[in-house]
Amino acid sequence: MKTRFKTRIAGLVAGIALSGTAAAFEPLPAQPPVPADNPMNAEKIELGRMLYFDPRLSVDGTVSCNSCHNVMTNGTDNRPVSVGVKGQHGGRSAPTVFNAAFLSAQFWDGRAATLEDQAKGPILNPVEMGMPSEKAVIERLKKIPEYVDRFETVFGKGGLTYDNIAKAIAAYERTLITPNSPFDRYLRGDKDALSESAKRGMKLVEKVGCTACHNGPNFAGPELPTGQGFFQKFPTYTDNKYVKKYDLMADKGRYEVTKKEEDMYMWRVPTLRNVALTAPYFHNGSVQTLDEAVRVMAKTQLNRDLSRKEVRDIVAFLESLTGEIPPQVMPKLPQTEGFSVVGDQ
Amino acid sequence: MKTRFKTRIAGLVAGIALSGTAAAFEPLPAQPPVPADNPMNAEKIELGRMLYFDPRLSVDGTVSCNSCHNVMTNGTDNRPVSVGVKGQHGGRSAPTVFNAAFLSAQFWDGRAATLEDQAKGPILNPVEMGMPSEKAVIERLKKIPEYVDRFETVFGKGGLTYDNIAKAIAAYERTLITPNSPFDRYLRGDKDALSESAKRGMKLVEKVGCTACHNGPNFAGPELPTGQGFFQKFPTYTDNKYVKKYDLMADKGRYEVTKKEEDMYMWRVPTLRNVALTAPYFHNGSVQTLDEAVRVMAKTQLNRDLSRKEVRDIVAFLESLTGEIPPQVMPKLPQTEGFSVVGDQ
């Protein structure tokens, strides 16, 4: 399996070969790919930032994109599964929004091709933000004059549409990139950026086989055409204590969307960037610590029992993937005078 | 009643007499009073800002101070009553945090003397942030090394205490002042800052009697010693359609705390600053629009039926009380590596 993927990667990414490491490790680019039909500009990003933080996009005015993908806490909520409107729990752990712009497909099961497609989902999901329809979202935002004006400025006359809400949010999300991690600084020549333990861990993730899937600049697989997710089966090896302990087969992954047998237990390979800060782990958030997550992955994906020292070194390496969160300006959300657009659902 | 309060006020506040207005209207000071035992400094304010936005102060990691007192939406959540952990609803509407530093007592019933006292309440309230005890809060924050360091820097060795959590949050809240409203600019000499309708409204609120209670720089009553709330009975006149329609007597106000007969239906007079942006209205958030709130107050407090034009002018004046929200920097919340401090409650 390892060999197969290394071959595949070789044709897709231009790796930076480093002396002492055979793997194709790459620093995070400063900018993610930007789709031709949604170019970024300052006004669109600002509108997207407002929408991202605006709880009025949820039916009862309590949940914003940022509630679960909190940019103040590493782009996630650090919960097993997220909590939506009316105290409802979601089925999967919220993936970090940071560097999601580098993924070729979104959601744990890759069911959305782009950030734009992804942004449309949670707003209408009954257990997340719970708005009843696209029309209801538009009707609500139309009551907020500054939003109407801003959509027109950014997208032209009649610019307040559900597609454009998603475009603005996606444009903001493409600014949520975390460059300059110790690992990136090391790759760029600062040999002191990594501890000795992290350096051993870097060799181990390749030797053990983690990088067969967690490769590329985002450690989420090779660069692929938009919408073509990089999927892997999880768990691959099921005859171990972890599968039952962490209930790893209750959710059938991509199969739940496609109902195709070949998608059973297939998941989009998640990024390892900032992984030290996004506990708890896995699609169901069942594993609370990073060292245990490393043990689980080694056993379920590579049928390997790591030594304590190996786990420690790999964790040290993973901790070196924590990048710099860009400074965040808090939006001033457009206001309504004399009334509120949310009721008491 | 009007006369009695005007007399009381005269002895307490140094009003600015303006030509053309007999009422003691005052601009909002740039700085609120600061208690001697909690001086403000940049590091304390920054620590308080972090705590204010940190959902890990709630039992399941979903609710921060900012969830209900959202500084991006006028210091409130624009909901009838707020939603706390596990989808639970509170009993009263969240008052705005903006300019709360000018109040001599906190909460709708004035049960907390200071911002410091107030900040300790919601964290432990089972239907708000739901932490089981002060000790549990401290134990959780102790797992976050940067918090431990920051508390020591600000408060000295062993600085991470529940009292100091409240002090830091209060220091941040004292920065949440909204000066320079059109009304303030008008008071300072810019005669064009108010529309003709707002100018008529300014005269009306005095003539009708609103300013008997809503006076002083924060329109929340006279300056009083800390902890001595400025209370009024609401509703005063009960023989009208509004009391039943908006269920204004279900909650007995300050009586619920003191169980004293004299506190029956007594409420701390709320600020009118930014009132146009804090719908819905009243302690139970039952009134959805500002014009209806004006009608209800005139009838229940002054037994007066206002004409449409009077309501319109008063609303125009109230809209002129919208100040400038200070630019908000988003905190970077202290992080934990390899684990999360919140579980799946």
Q: What is the spatial distance between Cα A238 and Cα A153, in angstroms, rounded to a whole number?
A: 54
What mean pLDDT is predicted for residues A91-103? 97
What mean pLDDT is predicted for residues B9-25? 43
Best of B46, B78, B82 to mutate (most A CBs within 10 Å, chain A): B78
Q: Given A60, A330, A340, which is nearest B280 (Cβ)?
A: A340
pLDDT of residue A7: 38
DSSP B101-134: GG-SSBSTT--BSSHHHHHHHHHH-TTTT--S-H
pTM: 0.92
pLDDT of residue B276: 98
Bridge partners (DSSP) listed for residue A231: A268
CA B24 and chain centroid, separation? 22
The 10s digit of each residue's pLDDT in A204-249 is 999 999 999 999 999 999 989 999 999 999 999 999 999 999 999 9
pLDDT of residue A20: 39
Tell me how crowded residue A318 is: count the other CB atoms within 10 A of its CB: 28
Sign of torsion over alpha carbons B151, B152, B156, B159: positive
What mean pLDDT is predicted for residues B114-126? 98
Answer yes or no: are the C-beta atoms of A211 and A9 closer than 8 Å. Answer: no
Size of interface A-B (CB pairs under 8 A): 136
The overall average pLDDT reported for chain A is: 93
The 10s digit of each residue's pLDDT in B224-243 is 999 999 999 999 999 999 99
> Up-side HSE of residue B106: CA atoms within 13 Å toward CB?
21
pLDDT of residue B345: 57
What mean pLDDT is predicted for residues A80-92? 95
What mean pLDDT is predicted for residues A79-105? 96
pLDDT of residue A166: 98
Tokens at residue A108, please?
Answer: 């744990």
Q: What is the spatial distance between Cα A140 and Cα A132, in angstroms, rounded to a whole number?
A: 11
pLDDT of residue B344: 63
Q: Is A127 on the interface with B (CB under 8 A)?
A: no
pLDDT of residue A323: 97
> Up-side HSE of residue B145: CA atoms within 13 Å toward CB?
4
pLDDT of residue A322: 98
pLDDT of residue B23: 45
What mean pLDDT is predicted for residues A256-264? 97
Share of chain B above pLDDT 90, in %: 90
ipTM of the complex: 0.91
Q: How many angstroms away from the CA of A138 is the closest CA of chain B?
A: 19
Asked if A342 lies within 8 A of B87 by C-beta distance, the reply is: no
Per the residue annotation, which of A26, A46, A116, A128 is the catalytic one?
A: A128
The 10s digit of each residue's pLDDT in A107-126 is 999 999 999 999 999 999 99
Q: What is the spatial distance between Cα A189 and Cα A192, in angstroms, rounded to a whole number?
A: 9
Answer yes or no: are the C-beta atoms of B49 and B331 closer than 8 Å. Answer: yes
A5 pLDDT above the threshold of 90: no
Share of chain B above pLDDT 70, in %: 92
The overall average pLDDT reported for chain B is: 93
Catalogue the E-assigned strands of A5-110.
Answer: none
Residue B281: pLDDT band (50, 70, 90) is very high
Q: What is the spatial distance between Cα B232 and Cα B234, in angstroms, rounded to a whole number?
A: 6
Catalytic, B128? Answer yes
Q: What is the spatial distance between Cα A330 and Cα A39, in angstroms, rounded to a whole number?
A: 22
Which of A:269-298 have CB within 8 Å of B?
276-277, 279-280, 285, 288-291
Residue A344: pLDDT band (50, 70, 90) is low
pLDDT of residue B5: 41
Tokens at residue A2, please?
Answer: 């390892």
pLDDT of residue B24: 63
A8 or B27: whose pLDDT is higher?
Answer: B27
Q: Given A85, A285, A289, which is nearest B339 (Cβ)?
A: A289
Q: What is the spatial distance between Cα A264 and Cα A341, in angstroms, rounded to a whole number?
A: 42
Angle formed by the axes of helices B196-208 and B308-319, to 10°? 110
Q: How many angstroms away from the CA of A37 is the closest CA of chain B?
A: 30
Residue B19: pLDDT band (50, 70, 90) is very low
Residue A343: pLDDT band (50, 70, 90) is confident
B61 pLDDT above the threshold of 70: yes
B87 pLDDT above the threshold of 50: yes
Q: What is the spatial distance between Cα A76 and Cα A106, in angstroms, rounded to a whole number?
A: 15
> Up-side HSE of residue B130: CA atoms within 13 Å toward CB?
20
Q: Is B329 on the interface with A (CB under 8 A)?
A: yes
The 10s digit of each residue's pLDDT in B196-223 is 999 999 999 999 999 999 999 999 999 8
Return all residues near B251 (Cβ < 8 A) that are at least 6 apart. B91, B92, B283, B284
Residue B83 carries which side chain, given as an amino acid letter?
V
What mean pLDDT is predicted for residues A94-106? 97
Residue B316 carries which side chain, given as an amino acid letter?
A
CA separation, residue B149 to residues A68, A327, B38, B137, B146 (Å): 27, 21, 19, 16, 5
CA A5 and chain centroid, separation? 22
The 10s digit of each residue's pLDDT in B124-179 is 999 999 999 999 999 999 999 999 999 999 999 999 999 999 999 999 999 999 99
Bridge partners (DSSP) listed for residue A232: A267
Q: What is the spatial distance between Cα A168 and Cα A171, in angstroms, rounded to a whole number?
A: 5
Residue B343: pLDDT band (50, 70, 90) is confident
Return all residues near A138 (Cβ < 8 A) that are at least 6 apart. A160, A161, A162
pLDDT of residue A24: 63
The DSSP letter of residue A143 is: T
CA B94 and chain centroid, separation? 8
Best of A57, A65, A69, A79 to mutate (most B CBs within 10 Å, chain B): A79
Answer yes or no: are the C-beta atoms of A172 and A45 closer than 8 Å. Answer: yes
Residue A345: pLDDT band (50, 70, 90) is low
Answer yes or no: are the C-beta atoms of B272 and B297 closer than 8 Å. Answer: no
Q: Is B176 on the interface with A (CB under 8 A)?
A: no
